[in-house]
């Protein structure tokens, strides 16, 4: 029997379980990553939504900072909401440390109080050739600027909410909370496992 490809989910905190289910449905083996060692066996890593400040603390405590940087040089990362904040080149509101592996500036909690959580259809850019998807936004950040090599994939009210840079992906909304598996499938494509 051929071994299933393995995709990691950084499982320090946040929305882990819905990703496990999506990945299982797509026929890959989800691996809950808690240590540098478990990064060695996966073809890509989902950095899920949660609270980016808590992630920063837990990444330090678990000795994962350098391991994540090293991994990002070799294999794809997909940062979702707090995960996108962790991957960004620059974080505002307030400024905080980040891995600086994806050339965007993001502003945390940028949709204001009454809009802290909402669901909306998303507009595809020409580079998004998959099915239409909707986005669940939960105290989401806003992408304030994109570097020259960043390719916008989906937008909401004319602002990019999902983008690709090389092999890496970020989304400011939560694709694990909607029925469609299109974005998970797209990420598996970046990992070479779809
Ligand atoms: N508001 C959170 C932060 O700033 C992100 C929320 C999320 O991941 N859904 O880290």
Burial state string for 146-180 with b = 16 or more CB within 10 A and e = fewer than 16: beeebbbbbbbeeebbbbbbebbbbbbbbbbbbee
pLDDT value at position 1? 62
Q: What ligand 1 atom has the least distance to the C-alpha of 14?
A: 8
Compute the distance from residue 180 Cα to the ligand 1 centre, in Å: 22
> What pLDDT does 174 receive?
98
| 0.75 surpassed by pTM | yes
Backbone angles phi and psi of 104, in degrees to 5: -135, 155
108 CB less than 6 Å from ligand 1? yes
The string of pLDDT tens digits covering residues 25-57 is 999 999 999 999 999 999 999 999 999 999 999
Segments of the chain scoring below 50 in pLDDT: none
Q: How far does residue 130's CA lie from ligand 1's centre (Å)?
A: 26
- Domain 6-190: state its class: alpha beta
Contacts of 13 (CB under 8 A, 6+ apart): 50, 51, 54, 55, 58
The response to whether residue 142 sits with its C-beta less than 6 Å from ligand 1 reads no
Give the tokens for residue 7. Answer: 């995709």
């Amino acid at each position: 029997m051929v071994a299933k490809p393995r995709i990691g989910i950084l499982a320090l905190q946040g929305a882990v379980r819905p990703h496990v289910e999506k990945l299982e449905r797509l026929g890959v083996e989800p691996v809950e990553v808690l240590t540098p060692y478990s990064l060695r066996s996966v073809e890509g890593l989902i950095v899920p939504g949660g609270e980016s400040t808590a992630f920063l603390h837990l990444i330090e405590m678990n000795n994962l900072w350098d391991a994540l940087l090293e991994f990002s040089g070799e294999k794809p990362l997909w940062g979702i909401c707090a995960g996108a904040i962790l991957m960004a080149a620059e974080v505002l509101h307030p400024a905080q440390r980040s891995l600086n592996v994806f050339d965007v500036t993001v502003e945390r909690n940028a949709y204001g109080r009454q809009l802290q959580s909402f669901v909306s259809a998303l507009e595809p850019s020409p580079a998004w050739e998959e099915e239409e998807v909707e986005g669940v936004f939960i105290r989401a950040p806003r992408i304030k600027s994109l570097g020259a090599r960043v390719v916008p994939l989906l937008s909401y009210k004319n602002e990019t909410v999902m983008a690709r840079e090389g092999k890496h992906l970020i989304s400011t909304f939560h694709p694990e909370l909607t029925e469609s598996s299109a974005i998970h499938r797209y990420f598996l494509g970046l990992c070479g496992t779809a």
